[in-house]
Structure 1
Amino acid sequence: MHELSLCRSLLRQILEVAEQHRVLAVTVVRLQVGPLSGVEPELLKTAFPLAAAGTLAESAKLNLTATCIEVYCGSCKKRSRAASNQLSCTSCGSCSTQLVSGDELILESVELTLDELSAIKCP
């Protein structure tokens, strides 16, 4: 399950941010996940608590936002949505396209608890 190693890598980034701000806890982690990222969202949700155990993020909620597959057409110069098994242009049907989005795994933001009364959001 490579999602566990992805979570461990993600947690290294999150804990660096937490350390910089000297926080008590990480409360929310938001990720953008594209359908072509090679990541299985349900496995990521399962792996995150395992990777976060014993860290400042052990009680953090993991929020995933699915992104759409979008291509840019070199023929008609338009951007359009595409399906994972059909990356041709939906406007003109050309196969001369470039992937614009859909393969990302992006740490969007992290919410941190500074003390008992306050929290901050780090984009």
Structure 2
Amino acid sequence: MVNGEFYRRYLNLPDPYGQQETSFTMLFEFREFEGKMYLKYQREEDTYNLFNKTTNAIILKQSFMKELFVNNVLPHQTHAPDATMNMNRSVEGQAKPYNEAFWKYYNAPVETARDSQILKALSEMESKP
């Protein structure tokens, strides 16, 4: 905020519309690994108003949130990274094709020994007449 009011930056769009950035927040988290600090997490949030330049009427309010989670650090890589894998594009633009095998069990709850006992008991109850 500037002097108690939201910072406003007008972005150019074809007439008669304008886009006004009303807020922007970026958060970085780092983690130490092998004596060096590496990016662990990045979050970006921004809010825009799409408005009519003639009437100043707000047509649409938009909010965006982007997150980047770093889950693998390669500190001893012996070759340069692939030039196509850079952060000059949006995170969404770097998405790989959907990998059904990966997502099938990703973040699925792990069955505990107690869960196994309960499931076995339920199965035995179902099989009894």
Q: Is the radius of gyration larger for structure 1 or structure 2?
A: 2
Identify the TM-score tier after normalising by the shorter chain: under 0.3
What is the TM-score of this pair, normalised by structure 2? 0.26
Structure with a larger share of its residues in strand: 2
